[in-house]
Amino acid sequence: MAGGTTLDVYTGFDRMPIAGEWRAGGSGGSRADTDPYTGDVLTEIGLAGADDLDQAYRAARDAQPEWAARPARERSEVMAKAALILADRENELIEWLQREAGATRGRAAMELALVRAVTEKASEQADRVNVRTGTGSDIPDKENRVYRKAAGVVAVISPWNFPVQLSNRSVAPALALGNAVVLKPAGDTPVTGGLFLAKVYEEAGLPPGLLSVLIGKGSEIGDAIVEHEIPRVVSFTGSTPVGRSIAAKAGLKKLALELGGNGPLVVLDDADLDQAVAGALYGSYFHQGQVCMATNRIIVDASVHDAFVDRFVSAAAALRYGDPRGIGTQLGPVINAGQVDSIREKVSRAVEDGAELILGGDPTGPTGQVLPPQVLVGDNTVATAAEEVFGPVATIIKANDEEHALHLANDTEYGLSSGVYTRNEDRGLDFALRVQAGMTHVNDTTVNDDVHIAFGGEKASGLGRFGGDWVVDEFTTQHWISLQHQPREFQY
């Protein structure tokens, strides 16, 4: 702990911060937050309803102008302190990620490194508002200015797979730039997806009302959080069908959507197979494959296909799965029983469609939610290749040559993340430029270290925004003001 002090662990996660007050929601219902490995109840939360949401938005609207008017230095200091608190409470938050999200310790630590990086970056971005830039004019004595201002109130809807990071990558910069935020985290990860972050920002000195976190049923607040008149920006990370629904219901609001993926990883005929296997293993099974940028399809040139399959299956079979708190565990549980059933149903349909399951196994663990690594060999049309699986499943597809591999890679409605392996960097770059995706990694097995600089992709995966400053454009507006200077009158 910083300064050698011991911090009291956060408590009170049976309540949520709504309009500046920690309390239960008023819907009358509740939800148990459970450990996906053991089934233990971690907390039970009284769910929020439409009235709670309305109160949160109105409090955010009332608190935001004063926050935006503060000197950038003050907002920056809150963000910087929040980053230090996250570092101090790393072990506490890692334990929550293990218990609530089924994350192994290594995966949890990686996520928290990203969270701290995003928060530190937000501290640096606080001065990107309430400033002007000048533009030229062809009219004599005329000056054009563009002022950047906070957008106002931002709605953030985040998923369960990387709950802290995928909430905070919008929450931190939005707050730093002078906005207020109403956050709806996923019901499977209410603490790591929102309530813990709210405690951090509260401890860091964020004024009340600027960050509300609502845990509630989609049927009660899912549409309302998007349709409400107050928010000016909606930031959503999740499935493509839900993203399309949000786009249809949001009206005249700015949208930041990162949606589903069906990531291809291409192994060309000159690839280093050991490197390619390591990258494919990481892409397919990191966090049980529950990553939007996961490798869903491994497309391998026919000349190295059989050798790759042998090495990949051997490596996948050696992965250790089980209790995410266990030393050496590489795969923990799938988030919930419904997701396990969905994954297994896709595998069954793929086999019915002609794919060969060459590595499998039934779910294990106290809740039956630990699914061993699955490997199939099939074509681009089988269910586990054509659809986003979001589980520990890899489908290997044989390509006739490089052009066929490119066709297979692009033959999907999605376009989020992709990868290619080749010993020739120029060839890899040329291939990458022809892939229809928001991001393509050439010979890279550490891509998750940099995902905080990207948001979205192409096609049904959302609109890509890249670089460390994409959030400035998302969470601010610009005001153009023209000044026609008047001739000065001289006094004698």
Positions marked active-site: 258, 292
Cα–Cα separations (whole angstroms), residue 50 to 47, 222, 230:
10, 9, 14
CB distance 475 to 154 below 8 Å? yes
CB distance 295 to 394 below 8 Å? yes
**Side-chain half-sphere of 90: how many Cα atoms within 13 Å?**
18
CB distance 286 to 265 below 8 Å? no
Alpha carbons 370 and 324: distance in angstroms, whole number: 10
**Side-chain half-sphere of 273: how many Cα atoms within 13 Å?**
15
Residue type, 266: V
The phi, psi pair for 23, rounded to 5°, reads -160, 170
**Count of CB atoms situated within 10 Å of the CB of 132:** 10
Alpha carbons 155 and 312: distance in angstroms, whole number: 42
Report the residue count for the chain.
Answer: 492
Cα–Cα separations (whole angstroms), residue 492 to 440, 445, 488, 489:
69, 75, 13, 10
β partners of residue 374: 393
Alpha carbons 51 and 48: distance in angstroms, whole number: 8
Cα–Cα separations (whole angstroms), residue 37 to 40, 41, 320, 354, 405:
8, 11, 15, 32, 38
**Count of CB atoms situated within 10 Å of the CB of 142:** 12
Q: Report the relative pairing of strands 417-421 and 414-415 from DSSP bridges.
A: unpaired
Place of tokens 């079979």: 317
CB distance 167 to 197 below 8 Å? yes
How many H helices and E strands in the chain?
A: 16, 23
